Structure 1
Amino acid sequence: MALADETADLPPREAAWVRALAFATVRWYVQLEAMVEGMLDRPLKPRDAVIRVLLCQGLAEIFRFGTPDHAAVRETAELARAIQRPGAVGLVNALLRRALRERELLGQAMQRTPALRHACPAWLVAGIRASYPERWEAVLEASTRAAPMTLRVNTARVSRAAMQERLERAGLAAQPHPLVPTALTLAEPVDVDAIPGFADGLLSVQDAAAQWAGLLLSPQPGERILDACAAPGGKTGHLLEASSGGIDLTALDVDGARMGRVRDNLRRLGYRAQLVIGDLADPEDWWDGRPFDAILLDVPCSATGVIRRHPDIKLLRRAADIPALAARQRELLAQAWRLLRPGGRLLYVTCSLLADENERVVGSWLAATPDAKPLPLAFPGGDDRPVGRAVALGAEDMDGFYFALLGRAG
């Protein structure tokens, strides 16, 4: 949001360049900062954090964009001059020129450890390696690439083939996703206003793996369904599309501002649901006492599975966050279970890559819940877990997700 605001008044090409440079700097920041620290004679002071960021940005131009050497140095020095910090311009010039001289040696040094090679904090490398022991390097490599723009087709109103043809007539090349029957992936990202059918609710922007949530819960006409952590409403809309609007859907979220996005999405799609601002952990404040036939529980998580879309997760998330998130996830799972009728089903979903938020949460909860059992998942992709299935980040160019379908004894 901040980046969009800052680039709103720029010409389109300049805005695109600023966004690309900002994303690359954040995506590779762990590696770029290590280069900076390795070349400094003494550490920068905390008040010079903006200089550190400028140096990382200049290195991103050199190592990630191939900007001409003199241009990368000149542009970064000009930015340093603008902050009016004594010595900043000289430091930027000296360090970036040294990086140009030692480019090959610096590049080699960054290959020595997985954390630097993939610009990922060491704690997260360890967690991904433990969760994906056979493909952890591929997952980390995928985390450094930009994500594709994938669309969800409302197949209740138009076929995927017809939508693909319409996109291509508009000059937008798109390919059907091999594992997700509602997904089309664009060859190049575009503004949603340029996508035919988007404003009319025929299409939504949603990663292919995320689209499995609506498909795996498999809403049936007439069912009473709860989308328990609904905002911003992508999965809410898909549940309605998958049932042609024939379900009694309650969309719940604790955040009133984000619930506004659910409302906007449903208005664009042309569907209706009961929108409730409330906390799943306190159902007495909003629940009418009637149990639900099915519940979609997309719990708050570390979001490490969408790290290529939000690379700042690498910088903002900490290892110490995970136990607290897992405790919250178990609490929400227990609370949601109380609202489910006997014979009903609950789909537990995260966009986390970490077993501590996925099968370990569900497995420990199942062990303590006699009337719960895992149900099979009709999902052609992903990896089997002790409970549920995980989609590795980058597999078939999808985000990282975890799904567990749970049934309540009748």
Structure 2
Amino acid sequence: MSTRRVALNALSDIIDNGAYANLCLKRAEQGMSERDAKWVSAAVYCTLDHLMMIDRIIASHAKGKLDKTIRNILRLGVCQAKYMNVPDSAACNESVRLAKEVGKGALSGYVNGVMRSVCRDTELPPLPDEPVERLSVEYSWPKWLADELVADYGIAEAEGIMAQQTHDFCIRAQWPYTADELACALNDRGIGFRRGKIDPNAFCLENGFNVEKEPLFTEGKITVQSESAMLVCRAIEPKAGMRILDACCAPGGKTAYMASLAENGCSITGFELHEHRRELTLNTLKRLHAENAEIVQKDASVYDDAYCGAFDAVLVDAPCSGLGVRGKPDVRYAKTSGMIDALSELQLKILNTCARYVKIGGTLVYSTCTVSRRENIGVWEQFLVENCNYAPGNMENILPHDMRSRAEGGRIQLLPQHDGTEGFFIAKFIRRR
């Protein structure tokens, strides 16, 4: 199977079947050379990053209704010609060859004609005049999502959210390995980095490296984690002697960091609905030498009286739309407005359930990796309406000085254009009675 066919199969699975890009590509690239695998990932992600404009280009050169496979062949071809610096002749010829390879030889002439027309046109189609439609096409966000972001944040902030599509590759040290030791190790290897803005244990790498083959990773001294995710853990303020619940714990990165912050001195219970993800979490904790952690296969939305008032702190890092995660353009194409409503209902149900597990005087933290206000402030507001025994907590002491003014009501929305991080929401509550 050719490299471009692997890319086509992956792209089709992601766009047409809603497959997760990272998992789909991991499967697709098995057995490929490192060079070819990198090309496949680059082609698929580049196509997804520019999908709205690519479709606009195709629409201006192709007539009639397109076969799904032919549309995806053209998407890959246009991406190569317009965004990947592939010579026009190669983009055309390889698209024709790909059509024949997948049994669409009868349409190879059509593919050739469209691609040559695209390549002759050196200018991209003009962006729409209407402001929100322009953002949708320019940054490749579905129109309904662009409408919602503009309604929630205003057009300037919404554009900042949509424009920030690249992301830093961050790692951190896991106790007892220290940040100073990690800095020395990176310097010794000649790996450029900058220290985190939000978390002192964060290292944002300039070029990245194959972390899974890195001895520091396999030995459990480091792991990959965004600064946003690290801040979620710091909101719990883990300390020795505390009993903590991580209610939606897979794949275990936050569970491990809470253990690390308490120098393995706290006791952590984790809930995970699916057994295979429970096993994944256990493997993460084992690799990172996170002790005193018990992972239970359990639905966090279903109340269990055995845990009533049992924990000093509870983290609800809820299932969400993932619209704040950078580097995953596929996420926004797979979502609908109805899915956001369903997620916000589930988030509130989990939060209401787990609120009963917190001791009086204890801490409840709610977090998501989305910029959707329905899932964030909407859930925060409704939780306080339904739980008069809770009050907003104080997050200022865990934030850098320049972020503290935004932590009103014990909550903060991280945004890439302001914080250089992924778009997480974090809210802290204190149980009063």
Q: Which amino acid aligns with 1:261?
A: L
Match 1:184 to one of 196, 203, 212: 203
Matched, 1:392 2:415: yes
- 2:59 & 2:348 partners in 1: Cα distance? 40
Return closer, same or farther for 1:165/1:152 CA change in 2, 3 Å cut-off: same
1:132-281 equivalence runs, <5 A: 132-133=153-154, 134-143=156-165, 145=166, 147-154=167-174, 156-272=175-291, 273-281=293-301
> 2:173–2:222: 8 Å Cα contact kept in structure 1?
yes
**Residue of structure 2 equivalent to 1:64:** 83
Match 2:355 to one of 311, 327, 337: 337
Matched, 1:6 2:28: yes
- 2:77 & 2:68 partners in 1: Cα distance? 14
Return closer, same or farther for 1:150/1:394 CA change in 2, 3 Å cut-off: farther
**Residue of structure 2 equivalent to 1:401:** 424
Matched, 1:115 2:107: no
- What displacement does 1:20 show? 0.7
Q: Which amino acid aligns with 1:17?
A: W
Q: Which runs of 5+ in 2 are unaligned?
A: 1-22
- 1:209 & 1:221 partners in 2: Cα distance? 23
Structure with more helix by fraction: 2
Paired residue secondary structure (1:300): coil
Q: Which amino acid aligns with 1:19?
A: S
> 1:148–1:188: 8 Å Cα contact kept in structure 2?
no
> 1:362–1:387: 8 Å Cα contact kept in structure 2?
no
**Residue of structure 1 equivalent to 2:48:** 26
- What displacement does 1:386 show? 5.7
> 2:415–2:423: 8 Å Cα contact kept in structure 1?
yes
Matched, 1:77 2:96: yes
> 2:271–2:296: 8 Å Cα contact kept in structure 1?
yes
> 2:77–2:115: 8 Å Cα contact kept in structure 1?
yes
> 2:301–2:349: 8 Å Cα contact kept in structure 1?
yes
Count of aligned pairs between the two proteins:
401
Task: Identify the range of structure 1 (297-306 vs 163-172) with the bigger mean alpha-carbon deviation.
Answer: 163-172
Aligned Cα root-mean-square deviation (Å)? 1.9
Return closer, same or farther for 1:124/1:177 CA change in 2, 3 Å cut-off: same
- 1:369 & 1:67 partners in 2: Cα distance? 58
Q: Which amino acid aligns with 1:321?
A: M
Paired residue secondary structure (2:427): strand
- 1:174 & 1:123 partners in 2: Cα distance? 38
- 1:288 & 1:372 partners in 2: Cα distance? 18
- CA deviation profile, 1:226-253 (whole Å, cap 9, x unmatched): 0000001110100100101111110111
Matched, 1:301 2:320: yes
Paired residue secondary structure (1:43): coil
- 1:247 & 1:162 partners in 2: Cα distance? 24
Paired residue secondary structure (1:352): coil
- 1:164 & 1:32 partners in 2: Cα distance? 42
Identity of aligned residues (%): 26
Paired residue secondary structure (1:201): coil
Q: Which runs of 5+ in 1 are unaligned?
A: none
- What displacement does 1:111 show? 8.1
- What displacement does 1:190 show? 2.1
- What displacement does 1:86 show? 4.7
- 1:399 & 1:105 partners in 2: Cα distance? 30
- What displacement does 1:289 show? 4.5
- What displacement does 1:283 show? 3.3
